[in-house]
Amino acid sequence: MGDITWTNWSRFRELRITFDNPAQLDTVEPENWEDTLRLGLAVNYQASDAWKLRAGVAYDSGPVKDEFTTARIPDGERNWLALGFSYQPSSSLSLDFAYVYIFFEDRSINKSEPLTGNLKGEFEGHAEVIGLELNWKF
């Protein structure tokens, strides 16, 4: 199986913070994100009548160019690895399990702005997602 997903990130033009106090001006940070593609491939293997095994990989291009990287949202490219299974002991009951590990691209920032000063740092990260589903048909 495979999929291609397009995300319209370019609509996220700015991050705006508004205040209830009319004397305080909005804080606006331009984001300038780009649209992205996510490409995925997966396989299902029917091991028996009751068991189905699943595995997949995906690549998700990052919407943030280096010059627009911020500490608030240090997004970048992502690589996904996924494993899972379905167990169906009867026609009315099934259990699905999935585990996903997402590797985030390491990013760095080195900016100097007159009002906020210098910001220098590195970002790294990952995410783990676990899904469990019980289906009962009656």
Q: What is the pLDDT of residues 30-49, one digit of tens each?
A: 888 999 999 999 999 999 99
pLDDT of 75 > 90? The answer is no
Residues spanned by the domain of 94: 37-136
Contacts by 119-128, CB closer than 8 A, 24 or more apart: 119/71, 121/71, 123/71, 123/74, 123/76, 126/101, 126/102, 127/100, 127/101, 127/102, 128/99, 128/100, 128/101, 128/102
Q: How far apart (Å, rounded) are the C-alpha atoms in residues 58 and 72? A: 25
> Which is more confident, 3 or 22?
3
Is the backbone of residue 137 left (phi > 0), alpha (psi -120 to 50) or beta?
beta
49 found inside a domain: yes
pLDDT of 6 > 80? The answer is yes
The number of distinct structural domains making up the chain is: 1
| Residue-wise pLDDT tens digits, 119-135 | 888 889 999 999 999 99
> Which is more confident, 67 or 17?
17
pLDDT of 111 > 90? The answer is no
4 found inside a domain: no
